[in-house]
Amino acid sequence: MNIHFSLVAGAALAALLVTALAVFMFGEYSRSTTSPVSGRLTVGADRALQDIVRRLGDSFSSYYTEASISVEQGVSPDIFSGFASGRLSSAMLHGGLTRQEKALLEKQGRSFRCEPVARNAAVVVANADAGLTSLDFEYLRALSAGKGESRELRLFLDRRDLRFHYLLLRLLDTGLDRLVAHTVSGPRALVDTVASDRRAIAVLPLSDALAELAERPEGPDRPVLVPLSAAALAPLYPDQSSIYAESYPLVYTICYLYDTHDALATGFGAWMARQGQKTFMRSSLAPFRIPERRIELQEE
């Protein structure tokens, strides 16, 4: 009888300890996990997009004070690789996912969504002394296919950003599987090349071009943005209105890629696609959608 009582008491004590441990662990787990509006999140972004991501994160955290959004800078291919490996749970990318990128994420069993949140454009930067008042889209297409250097212009691209190469290849639609261009390493080297060579033109994202041009003093040798003309229309500069309306020829979307199993990454994406559009309107990018504005009329 005493042995039976001891066994029963021991079992009850063990059950109590297991229950207490479970309650403790659940409390710790609840405190350590994120929600759509709380926790910590790191968003991968390239140099040109890190500033807008930081501003979006600050705005989000001003609404939801228990959320902390930080930025990890890198070139676009490395940012995607960080997401594909699971090291990052969110990233801001130029353009949507390619078929190869989708296939890789699916093969690795990643749960993901690529949400279009803004619009950007590929732009042409040229030497101010080159005398280019505009550039024909069809000529740029021919140049990228290796057919246009007879006009004494040479096309340069950033060799590190292969994602942008594929994106530009799709936008130009040359029918080839690669672009024919000279390459240098990084946006700064692109603009430096244009500044020192009247024959050189560079194609890069608008956000990259503006970031580089902003650091250069005004002067006759400062590289300039060149407007593009297409289908016998007047040349267009890549401003926010022409990008949003997609009347500028080389417009593409900015995609927020995130793990749908990460609560805060999902919440930040949902906020960015709605309230966050106002932040994009105050940048060089164009919003993906115009935020709703409510006007209340009061009767006197």
Angle, nearest 10°, between helix axes 47-63 and 263-272?
Answer: 100
Same domain, 201 and 90: no
What pLDDT score does 203 carry?
98
CA angle 282, 285, 287 (to 5 degrees): 75
Q: What is the CATH number of the domain that holds 178?
A: 3.40.190.10
pLDDT at 27: 37
Q: Is 88 within 8 Å of 79 (Cβ atoms)?
A: yes
Q: What angle do CA 167, 170, 171 make, to 5 degrees?
A: 85
Check residue 156 and report its DSSP letter: E
Q: Would you give the DSSP letter of residue 271?
A: H
Q: What pLDDT is recorded for position 149? A: 60
Q: Which pLDDT score, from 0 to 100, does residue 224 have?
A: 95
Total-model pTM: 0.83
In a domain, 20, yes or no: no
Name the percent of the chain lying above pLDDT 90: 74
Contacts of 164 (CB under 8 A, 6+ apart): 76, 94, 95, 122, 157, 158, 204, 205
Domain ranges, residue 168: 120-251
In a domain, 22, yes or no: no
Q: Is the pLDDT assigned to residue 18 strictly greater than 70? A: no
Q: Are residues 137 and 82 in the same domain?
A: no
On average, the pLDDT of the chain sits at 86
Q: Are residues 243 and 127 in the same domain?
A: yes
pLDDT of residue 129: 87
| Separation CA 214–CA 143 (nearest Å) | 27
> What average pLDDT score do residues 226-249 get?
92
Looking at the DSSP bridge assignments, the partners of residue 225 are 125
CA contacts within 13 A on the Cβ side of 105: 23
- Asked if residue 242 and residue 141 are part of one domain, the reply reads yes
User: Between 50 and 9, whose confidence is greater?
Assistant: 50
Same domain, 82 and 197: no
Summarised one tens digit per residue, pLDDT across range 105-134 is: 999 999 999 999 999 999 999 999 888 899
Q: Say what angle helices 76-84 and 162-172 make with each other, to 10 degrees.
A: 110
Would you place residue 48 in the very low, low, confident or very high pLDDT band (cuts 50, 70, 90)?
confident
* Structure tokens given for 78: 């490395």
**What pLDDT score was predicted for residue 221?**
75
The mean pLDDT of 142-157, rounded to a whole number, is 83
Higher pLDDT, 24 or 249: 249
Residues 235 and 152: their CA atoms lie apart, in Å, by 21
Is the domain of 106 the same as that of 175? Answer: no
According to the model, what pLDDT value does residue 130 have?
85
- DSSP category for residue 35: B
234 by Cβ neighbours in 10 Å (0-12 / 13-18 / 19+) ranks as exposed
Provide mean pLDDT across the span 93-105: 95
pLDDT tens per residue across span 240-278: 999 999 999 999 999 999 999 999 999 999 999 999 999
Q: Per-residue pLDDT for 24 more than 50?
A: no
What beta strand segments (E) does the chain contain? 39-45, 67-73, 90-94, 113-126, 135-136, 154-158, 182-184, 200-205, 224-226, 228-229, 251-258, 286-287
The C-alpha torsion from 27 through 29 and 30 to 32, rounded to 10°, is: 120
Residue 233 lies in a domain: yes
Q: Are residues 220 and 276 in the same domain?
A: no
User: How many domains, the chain?
Assistant: 2
**Residue 298: pLDDT band with limits 50, 70, 90:** low
Q: Is the predicted pLDDT of residue 38 greater than 70, yes or no?
A: yes
Q: What is the pLDDT of residues 153-207, one digit of tens each?
A: 999 999 999 999 999 999 999 999 999 999 999 999 999 999 999 999 999 999 9
Q: Is residue 104 part of a domain?
A: yes
**Is 13 part of any domain?**
no
Residue 294 is predicted with a pLDDT of 57
The confidence score (pLDDT) of residue 29 equals 34
81 plus 170 within the same structural domain? no
Closest CA to 155 of 190, 109, 103, 114: 190
Rounded Cα distance between 70 and 89, Å, is 12
Whole-number pLDDT of residue 13: 37
Percentage of the chain lying above the pLDDT 70 cut: 84
Q: Residue 151 above 90 pLDDT? A: no
Count of beta carbons in the 10 Å neighbourhood of residue 142: 18
Q: What's the pLDDT score for residue 32? A: 41
